[in-house]
Amino acid sequence: METVKNAANYVGDKVNEATATASKETNKEVAKDSNADISTRATAAKDAVGDKFTESKNSASAEGNKQAAKH
């Protein structure tokens, strides 16, 4: 039963990782957009950093759940 739970958590973590990656890339593009005002660009840059942290956290959690599901 624990293996099924770990597998489900792995899938959830991978979905969350993909969502964070997409958000990070969008925010990076906004931060680089010279047509956007400076406060929008600064907020997007800050959000991209947060998204990178979330992406990394979910990736590590997914790997842990993947390994736990194997054993």
Calculate ∠ Cα 41-48-16, nearest 5°: 145
- Report which of residues 53 and 1 the model is more confident about: 53
pLDDT band at 71 (very low <50, low <70, confident <90, very high): confident
Could you give the number of structural domains in the chain?
A: 1
- Residue 1 has a pLDDT of 84
- Residue 3 has a pLDDT of 92
pLDDT, tens only, 12-37: 999 999 999 999 999 999 999 999 99
Which structural domain, as residue segments, surrounds residue 56?
Answer: 2-70
- Residue 61 has a pLDDT of 98
Distance CA 17, CA 65 (A): 14
Please tell me the pTM assigned to this model.
0.88
Q: Which of 70, 69, 58, 50 is nearest to 12 (CA)?
A: 58
